[in-house]
Amino acid sequence: MDAETPLLENVMTTLGYSLEEDDRPISPSSMSPEKAGYFPKAQWANLDRGKDAPRSNPIAIAHRGSKAKFPENSMSAFIHAISAGAQVIETDLHLSRDGEIVLSHDATLQRCFGVEKRVIDCDWQYLSSLRTIREPFDPMPRLVDLLRYISSAPERKHVRLLLDIKLDNPAQKIMRALADLLRSTAIRPEHKPWNERIILGCWTAKYLILSHTHLPTYPVCLISFSLSYARQFLRLRVPHVIFNLKLEALMGPGGARFLADAQAAGQHVFAWTVNEEALMRWCVRHGLDGVVTDDVEVLRRVCEGERARCYGEGIGRGDGITMRQRVNVFVTAVVLYLAGSVFAAVYPVDLKEFIGGLYQGIEKVDTT
C-alpha cells in the first residue's frame, strides 16, 4: 500500500469479502484442542534491539522488496533489498487458479502487468509468462522461488519474511497451501527453520485463527489501518501479536496512546509505508520496532543519524515534518478512522470467544 495505489482504493480493496463456500466464517470453537494455545513469540521481532543496541534501530522492512528502484514483488526488488541491508522482506500472497502461491499485491494483473485479469482466474503457466510493465520487465515470482533464494546461500541466512496474506483470497485454501509449502520446502542445515524466519501477516481475527490452526508454530502480526480494530486485541491481551499499522493512524488522534499502551504491554509495533525521511525520523524517535519502507537505504541512513529520543502525543517539533505532511497525516487519519468503522462492521468478531478458542489446550500444540 503506497502512493501508487490510492489510499481509498487500498482501504476498499481490503474491505472486499469472498463469498466462496471455502471462505465462510470460521468459529474458534471449531479448532481442535491440539491446535489451540498461545501465538508463538517472534524471536527476531527485535533482532536489532539487543541489550547493547540503541533504541534508534527499528527493523528495516523492505516493502515488496526495493520497490523504489525495481518492480514491486519481483526477484530483482528482493535481491536489491537484501544487498541494501534489508533485514526483512515484506511481500504479498495471492493464490492462482491451480493453487500456486504467487507474490502480488493486487488481486488483478492490470497495474503491474497490464493485463485485465484476476490472479485467481489464471493458472501458473500463464502467470509465469507475464512481464512487469516497469523495467527490467521481470516475471511474477512464486513464494517458493523467494524461499529457495533466501535459503540457497549462507550469506542470506539472516533474511526474514513478513507475509501479507491478502483478504481477497479463499481463506481456507490459501492457508492450507501455505502450510503445505512451508512444510515441504527444504532449508539448509545451517539456516534457522522457517517458523523462526517468517511472520504471518493477517488482517482479521479469522485469519489469525486460521494461521494458528494450520501453522501453530509461526508468529503472527495484525496488519491494519484501524486503531479501534487493533486495540481490541491489545485490550484483551492477545499474547505475542505484532501490530503492523498504517503510519498515519499511529500519528493521528489516539495513535500515541495506542503506541504507549502496546509498548507497556510488551507488544511490538511496526508502521507502513514510510518513505519520507521526516516520517522515518518520527518512527525512530517514537521507538517503533519496525518500519516498512520502499527504500531501505534511506531508512538506514536516517537510523544511523538518529539518537534515541521520544516525543509526546502526535508530531514532535524536532522531527522536521512539513506543514504539507502534517495536513496529509491529519486528513489520512480521519479517512482511516471512518474506514476502520466500516472494517469492523464488515469483519465482526466476538473477541472473547476468539480468546477462548486460542487458549484451549495450551499444553499441546500440533507441529505436524
Q: Which residue has the higher pLDDT, 238 or 263?
A: 263
The answer to whether the beta carbons of residues 234 and 222 sit under 8 Å apart is no
pLDDT confidence band for 306 (50 / 70 / 90): confident
CA–CA separation, 250 and 252 (whole Å): 6
Helix axis angle, 227-235 to 255-264, nearest 10°: 20
Q: What is the pLDDT of residue 149?
A: 98
Q: What is the CA radius of gyration of the chain?
A: 19
Q: What is the pLDDT of residue 3?
A: 44
- Sign (positive or negative) of CA dihedral 60, 302, 317, 311: positive
| pLDDT at position 109 over 60 | yes
pLDDT bucket at 346, cuts 50 / 70 / 90 = confident
What local confidence, expressed as pLDDT, does residue 137 receive?
98
Q: Is 216 left (phi over 0), alpha (psi -120 to 50) or beta?
A: alpha
Confidence check: pLDDT of 317 > 70: no
Q: What is the mean pLDDT of residues 275-291?
A: 96
Percent of the chain topping pLDDT 90:
66
pLDDT recorded at residue 32:
41
What CA–CA distance (Å, rounded) separates 23 from 309?
Answer: 45
- In angstroms, rounded to a whole number, what is the distance separating the alpha carbons of residues 4 and 43? 33
- Give mean pLDDT, residues 64-92: 97
Residue 367 pLDDT level (bands cut at 50, 70, 90):
very low
Average the pLDDT over 130-144 and give the result: 98
Output the CA torsion 6→8→9→13 (10° steps): 140
Domains of the chain with bracketed CATH: 52-310+318-362 (3.20.20.190)
Q: Is the pLDDT of residue 224 over 80?
A: yes
* Dihedral (CA of 167, 179, 270, 227) sign: positive
Instruction: Note the pLDDT of residue 352.
Output: 64
For residue 241, give the C-alpha cell. 501479536
With cut-offs at 50, 70 and 90, classify the pLDDT of residue 6: low
Is the model's pLDDT at 304 over the cut of 70? yes
Band (pLDDT 50/70/90 cuts) for residue 30 is very low
Mean local confidence (pLDDT), 251-267: 95
Confidence of residue 21 (pLDDT cuts 50, 70, 90): very low
Res 361: pLDDT: 34
pLDDT band at residue 55 using 50, 70 and 90 as cut-offs: low
**pLDDT attached to residue 20:** 46
Q: CA nearest 166: which of 225, 272, 92, 223?
A: 92
Query: What pLDDT score was predicted for residue 322?
Result: 92
Average of per-residue pLDDT values in the chain: 85
- Residue 315 or 345, more confident: 345
| pLDDT given for residue 36 in this prediction | 43
Is residue 26 scored above 80 in pLDDT?
no
Structure confidence at residue 320 (pLDDT) = 82
Whether 35 has a pLDDT exceeding 60, the answer reads no
* Per-residue pLDDT at 353: 66
Q: What is the pLDDT of residue 174?
A: 98
pLDDT of residue 313: 44
The mean pLDDT of 45-57, rounded to a whole number, is 53
Neighbours of 52 (CB within 10 A): 5
180 and 239 Cβ atoms separated by less than 8 Å: no
Q: What is the mean pLDDT of residues 189-195?
A: 93
Q: What value does the mean pLDDT take over residues 17-35?
A: 43
Per-residue pLDDT at 362: 36
